[in-house]
Amino acid sequence: MTQFRVGDQVTIHNSQTGPEKIATVEAFTEGKRCMVLSDGSQWRADGQRQWRAGSAYYKGPVVEPTQPGDLEIVTKRRAIGVIRKFAQDLNMDSPLSAEALKRVVDLIQAEKAAAKVADPE
């Protein structure tokens, strides 16, 4: 039997990096053996591996009930990814104006300064 119910918020965890994605249980299929999440992924009802993973040995992500702090970790991970992608694609031919880039730099510097004040080392 599964510990999950339709409507439960769950976190997809990678064994090495922790919480990766937040989703909601939308349905159960295959006689309640397959759990369908709001991101379209399908998992065994116990959340221990993806439905039809294709290999006998599975060492992939798992689904767990969302815990306090999971949303913050996932949000931070996604924001870092967007910032890295933004910076990677940035060059002199970028359509962003110098003023727009200066605003981005000013925000980054302000956030870094606020973080140092909040957590002095």
Question: Which residue range is the domain that position 39 belongs to?
Answer: 9-65
Residue with tokens 């349905």: 27
pLDDT for res 115: 86
Mean pLDDT, to the nearest integer, of 68-81? 93
Are 13 and 19 in contact by the 8 Å Cβ rule? The answer is yes
| 21 and 59 inside one domain | yes
Q: Is residue 108 part of a domain?
A: yes
Q: Which residues contact 63 (CB under 8 A, 6 or more apart)?
A: 4, 10, 11, 12, 13, 23, 35, 37, 43, 47, 48
Helices (H) and strands (E) in the chain, counts: 2, 5
Q: Is residue 13 domain-resident?
A: yes
Residues 15 and 50 occupy one common structural domain: yes
> Which residues have C-beta within 8 Å of that of residue 107, sequence separation ≥ 6?
none
With respect to residue 3, please indicate whether it lies within any of the assigned structural domains: no
CA distance 60 to 15: 7
pTM of the predicted structure, to 2 decimals: 0.73
Do 57 and 81 belong to one domain?
Answer: no
Residues 74, 39 within the same domain: no
pLDDT of residue 56: 63
Asked if 61 and 34 sit in the same domain, the reply is yes
Structure tokens belonging to residue 16 = 């090495």
Q: Say whether both 49 and 30 belong to one domain.
A: yes
